[in-house]
Chain A
């Protein structure tokens, strides 16, 4: 860690991990309700559990992105953060807003669009905090060196904030509402968050492989180009059945199918750079998370996304457990693992230690990733049966669900494993640091501080 103000990232990462644990806990409760339908039905009905689960996810991912930005920006821009105080204040507002949303949900106070349930005043607080962050980061960049990584990262974050503004637009025409709702949801995860993901990966790869910046940044531009060329018009895969014109069927099918390309390129990018690089970075668990992130994102977003993205398939699978399967592995692979990679890389340096608790950390990787993969398989099987019974044969929804009970049971089991993995991760990162380096010659310790 070269710059003192990189420390700003530390409380962001701690907050992110705390909310992450909350997220998986609510997930576990939701999974339990699927299996035991009467579970907590009076105290906390399913809709409250679900909005808590999804909102916590989005809030902690954003806090993680903020922290990652504060962490890498001084190194990239070769200057201290413009105002660490502003950063702490901004974090406090964001965490407060997230917590306030969570509490108000328990009292039935919420708005009613998926993922955008925050009461308006909380949305405003989130916006203010986001703008404070953007100001702080942009001012830092302005006074320092401008690299492709920092420019693409900030562009992604600025655009994310701009598309977020559509959360404030809620027309009474349901079809219009839905069309612009996807401006936030799809243009985030399959658009501008792709810029954030690719630039954070590029940063990790520069640090951990030692490959020339010139080469990495060229790959970065190619990848983000592929993300937006496919992802913008790829929004059309949500415009098949909501009252939008028929031309979205060919356009959405074609461009969203191409969305697999940037995801695949990211896998090649990460593996190729590690193969090519000369550095043998000692933080093996961060390497594992980084490689695992690209692979899992490719399967969750790329393969599972492609599976139901063509309009002829989506006609049958739209809004079934297949969607749920994809949503889980895509978010986990692309954005959860991305944040966990950055934290695994940065925390030893923030705590001023050599990489520690490596084996424990790798256990958490395999438990969480294995659990999420298993959950995705069970939901996919459930979704196939549901699709066939409900969409082909025409059986009533509630009747089809009775046949899925076995899969919901296995899904709950997978959720338990994921929760154990998440707890282990947080313990490995924040708990007492024991040196756990893989056996090997002493050279692995070289570069530990870079």
Chain B
């Protein structure tokens, strides 16, 4: 098959085909962008506090231990649905308290258990972080994860 193909023909197929698939890819991501903003995520709910929470998440590089929506390191639990796992849908105040207490308690120092470092986070930033996790738990993820364990 490859014998009958000339180098120039191969080159033209490469350039033409790549442009073709690139155009489709750009088109689909443009549509996905629109879909994310308007359908799968909560536009009104994306408050300044949620945005700040995402910054707090990044400042401490939580992603280099945890996953969020399945992406990140695989060293610590999934946090995309941690709000639901802590019962935030039934009792938002309880979940918020529990999450904050948990973060403040670290590190546990328990021998043989993975350690989460102590982070110096103000109360306001901690609330923003929880807002961000709560907002994230409401993203339409096509039914992922399969179980509440994340």
Q: Do A and B come from one complex?
A: yes
CB–CB B114/A401 < 8 A:
yes
- Residues of A close to B41: CB separation below 8 A: 173-175, 243
Cβ-based interface call for A2 (8 A): no
Contacts of A217 in B (CB 8 A): 7
Other-chain residue from B51, B117, B135, B145 in contact with A391 (beta carbon distance below 8 A): B145
B7 in contact with A218 (CB, 8 Å):
yes
Contact digits for A228-243, partner B, Cβ 8 Å, 1 yes 0 no:
1100110110111111
Task: Decide yes or no: A315 and B144 within 8 Å by CB, A221-B7, A221-B13 being known contacts.
Answer: yes
Determine the chain A residues whose CB is within 8 A of the CB of B60 once the complex forms.
112
Enumerate B60-98 residues with CB–CB distance to A below 8 Å.
60-65, 67-78
What is the distance, in angstroms, from A236's C-beta to the closest C-beta of chain B?
A: 8
Q: Which residues of A contact B64 (CB under 8 A)?
A: 46-48, 50-51, 114, 117
For the complex formed, measure the closest distance between the CB of B62 and the CB atoms of chain A, giving whole angstroms: 7
A residues 226-258 in Cβ contact with B at 8 Å:
228-229, 232-233, 235-236, 238-249, 251
Cα–Cα, bound, A47→B46 (Å):
27
**C-alpha spacing A321/B75, complex, angstroms:** 9
The residues of A that contact B67 with a CB separation of less than 8 Å are: 319
- Max chain A C-beta neighbours (<10 A), residue from B6, B29, B50, B135: B29
Q: Which of A134-178 contact B (CB under 8 A)?
A: 148, 170, 172-178
B124 within 8 A of A: no
| Residue A397, interface by CB 8 Å | yes
Q: Is B102 an interface residue (CB 8 A)?
A: no
Contact A218:B2 (CB < 8 A) given known A244-B40, A319-B71: yes
Q: Tell me if B5 and A222 are in contact (CB < 8 A).
A: yes
Nearest B residue (CB) for A151: B11
The one of A241, A394, A398 in contact with B69, judged by C-beta atoms closer than 8 angstroms, is: A241
Task: Determine if A172 and B28 form an interchain contact, defined as CB atoms under 8 angstroms apart.
Answer: no
Q: How far is the CA of A50 from the CA of B143 in the complex (A)?
A: 30
Q: A110–B32 contact, CB under 8 A?
A: no
Q: Measured between C-beta atoms, what is the minimum distance from B19 to chain A in Å?
A: 9
| B132 CB to nearest A CB, Å | 8
Judge whether B21 and A242 touch: CB under 8 Å. no
Closest to B116 in A: A45
Q: Once the chains bind, are A218 and B5 in contact (CB under 8 Å)? A: yes
CA distance A241 to B78 in the complex (A): 13
A33, B111: Cα distance in complex, Å: 12
**A243 with B31: CB separation less than 8 A:** no
Whether the Cβ atoms of B7 and A214 lie closer than 8 Å is: yes
Tell me, rounded to whole Å, the shortest Cβ–Cβ distance linking B12 to chain A: 9
Once the chains are docked, how many angstroms separate the CA of A225 from the CA of B72? 30
Tell me if A188 counts as interface (CB < 8 A to partner B). Answer: no
A30 to chain B, nearest CB (A): 8
Q: Are B71 and A225 in contact, with the CB atoms below 8 A?
A: no
Chain A residues lying within 8 Å of B6, measured Cβ to Cβ, are: 218
Instruction: Let me know if A450 is at the binding interface, CB within 8 A.
Output: no
Q: Which residues of A contact B75 (CB under 8 A)?
A: 34, 46, 50
Q: Does A5 contact B (CB under 8 A)?
A: no
Chain A residues within 8 Å of B35, by CB: 244-245
Q: Which residues of B contact A224 (CB under 8 A)?
A: 14
Contact A225 B14 (CB under 8 A): yes
User: Would you call B24 an interface residue if the criterion is a C-beta within 8 Å of the partner chain's C-beta atoms?
Assistant: yes
* Distance A391 CA – B144 CA, assembled complex (angstroms): 10
What residues on B are CB-neighbors of A324 within 8 Å?
74
A392 interface hit (Cβ, 8 Å): yes
Which residues of chain B come closer than 8 Å to A248, judged between CB atoms? 28, 32
- Inter-chain contact B142/A249, CB cutoff 8 Å: yes
Known contacts A218-B7, A242-B71; 6 additional CB pairs below 8 A are: A111-B61, A114-B72, A241-B142, A315-B144, A318-B144, A323-B74
**Residues of B near any A CB (own CB < 8 A):** 2, 5-7, 10-11, 13-14, 17-18, 21-22, 24-25, 28-29, 31-33, 35-37, 40-41, 46, 50-51, 54, 57-65, 67-78, 107, 111-115, 117, 132, 135-136, 139-150
Q: Lowest 9 CB-CB distances: which A-B pairs, in order?
A: A112-B58, A319-B70, A47-B64, A394-B147, A241-B144, A221-B10, A172-B51, A397-B77, A225-B14
A-B pairs with beta carbons under 8 Å apart, 26 shown: A34-B75, A38-B111, A45-B117, A46-B65, A48-B64, A112-B61, A114-B72, A114-B73, A174-B139, A175-B36, A175-B40, A214-B7, A218-B5, A218-B7, A221-B10, A228-B18, A228-B21, A232-B22, A243-B69, A243-B140, A245-B40, A319-B70, A319-B74, A391-B146, A392-B147, A395-B149
